[in-house]
Amino acid sequence: MATGFTVRSAKKLLKFMDHSEYIQAILQTIDAAKINQQRYRILFDPVNGSAVDVGKKLFEKLGKVVLINGQMGRKPPHLAVN
């Protein structure tokens, strides 16, 4: 995990970092190389929510991503009845 993190403007930082620091922190908790060796296809369903971008970027580090319901802000199909 990165050290010496200071936030003067977290928004600017996020735009600059493009989620990369957060993703890196997650990857450091697992053996990404070992997972990659398995050549997984990863089905990722963020149900059109806020994790579309960061989740896709994270899972792309671990295999080939198949994304469904990846339109951020669109009403998810399982809620269409409400």
Q: Tokens 């997650």 map to which residue?
A: 26
Alpha-carbon distance of 40 to 54, in angstroms, equals 19
The DSSP 8-state label assigned to residue 29 in this structure reads: T
Of positions 29, 37, 38, 82, contacts another protein by CB under 8 A: 82
Alpha-carbon distance of 64 to 35, in angstroms, equals 11
String of contacts with another protein for each residue 18-47, x by CB under 8 A: -x--x--x----------------------
CB of 22 to another protein, least distance (A): 5
Backbone angles phi, psi at 44, to 5 degrees: -120, 120
Q: Which of these ranges, 5-13, 27-35, 37-45, 59-67, lies near another protein under the rule CB under 8 A?
A: 5-13
Alpha-carbon distance of 76 to 81, in angstroms, equals 10
Residues of this chain that bind another protein (CB under 8 A): 5-7, 9-11, 14, 19, 22, 25, 48-51, 54-55, 72-73, 75, 79, 82
